[in-house]
Amino acid sequence: MSYTSERSRALFERALAVMVEGGSSPSRGPANYGAYPIFIARGEGAWVYDVDGNRYIDWMMAYGALPLGHAHPDVVAAVAEAAATGTLFAAATEIEVEVAEAIQRMVPSAERVRFANTGTEAAMAALRLARGYTGRPKFIKFEGHYHGWHDDFLINAHPHAPASLGHPRDPVRIAESSGLNRRALDDTIVVPWNDLAAVERAVGAHPGQVAAIVTEGVMANMGVIPPEPGYLPALEALARDRGILFVLDETVTGFRLAPGGCQELYGLRPDISTFGKALGAGLPVAAITGRAEIMDAFRWGGVLHYGTQNASRVGLAAARASLRVLAANGGAAFEQLRRTADALASGAREIFADAGTRAIVQQVGPMLQIMFTDRPAIHDYREFCAYVDRARFQRFALALFRHGVYMSPSAALHSVVSLAHTGAHVEATLDAMRKALGDG
Active-site residue set? 146, 249, 277
Distance CA 97, CA 195 (A): 40
Distance CA 275, CA 116 (A): 9
DSSP 126: H
In degrees and rounded to multiples of 5, residue 216 shows phi and psi of: -80, 155
Secondary element (H or E) of residue 121: helix 119-134
32-44 b/e with 16+ CB inside 10 Å = b?
bbeebbbbbeebe
| Amino acid, single-letter form, for residue 104 | Q
| Amino acid, single-letter form, for residue 77 | A
Cβ–Cβ < 8 Å for 237, 266? no
Output the CA torsion 105→286→138→161 (10° steps): 120
DSSP 173: P
- Please provide the size of the chain in residues: 440
In degrees and rounded to multiples of 5, residue 7 shows phi and psi of: -65, -35
Distance CA 163, CA 166 (A): 7
Cβ–Cβ < 8 Å for 51, 7? yes
251: region left, alpha or beta (phi > 0 left; psi from -120 to 50 alpha): alpha
C-alpha to C-alpha distances, 416 to 101, 361, 393, nearest whole angstrom: 27, 13, 16
Query: What angle in degrees, to the nearest 10, is found between the helix axes of 73-84 and 313-355?
Result: 160
The closest alpha carbon to 228, from 22, 363, 380, 89, belongs to 380
Cβ–Cβ < 8 Å for 59, 417? yes
319: region left, alpha or beta (phi > 0 left; psi from -120 to 50 alpha): alpha
Strands, sheet with 359-364, edge to edge from the N-terminal-most edge strand: 359-364, 367-372, 415-416
210 pairs with which residues across the strands?
A: 138
Q: For residue 5, with 0-12 CB atoms within 10 Å meaning exposed, 13-18 middle and 19 or more buried, which class applies?
A: buried
